[in-house]
Amino acid sequence: MIRDAKPEDFGDVLRLSESFWQHTQFDEPFEPEHTRMYVEMAHDHGLLAVVEIDDEVVGFCAAIRSPLMGSTKALMATELAWYVDPAHRGGRNGVALLKHMEQLAKDQGVKYWTMLYMESSMPDTVRKMYERLGYSKAETSYTKVL
């Protein structure tokens, strides 16, 4: 079942966030209290949803919204994290979660919804899925350790 997250889900979202963190390119330690701030922010923005199977939260998506940098005439929302436990991938959970998030954003008047993918986590699979769902490449991001 896909549903909007509740504050009582925050612990599960943090647990999954720590697993998600292991797939990023960052070598800094996972900080639960810092991450909780972002989880709460996404919830406050009405853009935090979970996948629940047999009363267990096994996936989540968190996003934030804001006006465009150059115009107040449209809102955009950006995914912060989208993660489904590997044991629950391969079905429709991830896509259903993404579509739920799109609807949440649309209901809030968001015009532009931005999804990312990491080069370290199934980039070809995720890219192809985004394209099948109607996304088009808008930017490319590069990271440099300073």
pLDDT digit string (tens) for 88-105? 988 899 999 999 999 999
Enter the pTM of the model: 0.92
Domains and CATH numbers, the chain: 2-132 (3.40.630.30)
Tell me the pLDDT tens digit for each residue of 32-60.
Answer: 999 999 999 999 999 999 999 999 999 99
Three-class SS state of 130:
helix
Helix (H), strand (E) at residue 39: helix 32-44
Q: How is residue 99 written in tokens? A: 């579509």
